[in-house]
Amino acid sequence: MMNIPVYSAAGEKLGEFDVDEAALGGRVNRDVLRQAVLAYEANKRVGTAKTKTRGDKSHSDAKLYRQKHTGRARAGSRNSPTRVGGGVAHGPVPRDYSQKLNKKMRRLAVRSAVLAKMRDDEVKIVEKLELSGPKTREMARVLRGLGIERSFLLVLPQKDDQIWLATRNIEGSAVMSVEELNAYDLLRARQVVFTQAAIEKLLALAAARNSKDDGAEPADTGEDK
């Protein structure tokens, strides 16, 4: 059982939130985390790099000069990769770098990433986060109260355009709902801030998925419908 500090929006510590490590898998699966990060980075690659081979060049294919008795090295056409302006030998061609992770691996990677952050004391919980409007000044005040000075990920129970607008101009910020969480963004952020409703929802979903994977009847969370 881990105890995560719970703060008010003003930065006052209100207590602790108990997290059962078993709900998050019980251990950090580094192999799955590595595979998830590699897949995420590979999927960002466009794969459009291309060079012209000798077959793509528009020069004449005629032999530059006769084969023998010129005193020069034998040569073919101007398209040869050994000549200036010729084609490129073994150059890059368009390709698909994408990798696919199945659903269970993605979910396991998210649980392992959250558990790793908690064990490294890089997770904080805000009891409630309410702003009077989409004001960056108010969000910056909340972050200062929590001691957040570097990159952070703010996790909400559901999408909130007001909080997103108030946060987007803060350097190193990222805002996601529980359903949008992925291992890459969790590990990339220096600090992860959950609202209490968000961490409760995450643990409830994790428990339901664990029950489903174990063959038990899961609780009705409204997910995957």
In CATH, what number is assigned to the domain containing residue 9? 3.40.1370.10
Same domain, 135 and 184: yes
Residue 185 inside a domain? The answer is yes
Across the chain, what does the average pLDDT equal? 87
Same domain, 108 and 91: no
Same domain, 120 and 167: yes
pTM over 0.85: no
Same domain, 107 and 197: yes
Mean pLDDT over residues 182-205, rounded?
Answer: 91
Residue 223 inside a domain? The answer is no
Same domain, 56 and 144: no
Same domain, 28 and 111: yes
Same domain, 60 and 24: no
Residue 222 inside a domain? The answer is no
**What domain range includes position 83?**
46-96
pLDDT digits (tens, 9 = 90+) for 80-136: 998 888 899 999 999 999 998 888 899 999 999 999 999 998 999 998 888 888 889
**Long-range contact pairs involving 39-46 (C-beta distance under 8 Å, separation at least 24):** 39/99, 39/100, 39/101, 40/182, 40/183, 40/184, 41/184, 42/97, 42/98, 42/99, 43/97, 43/98, 43/99, 45/97, 45/98
Same domain, 131 and 205: yes
Same domain, 16 and 105: yes
Same domain, 129 and 188: yes
How many domains does one find in the chain?
2
Same domain, 207 and 104: yes
CA angle 157, 159, 165 (to 5 degrees): 125
Same domain, 50 and 139: no
Q: Which residues pair with 7 in a beta bridge?
A: 13, 126
pLDDT at 43 over 90: yes
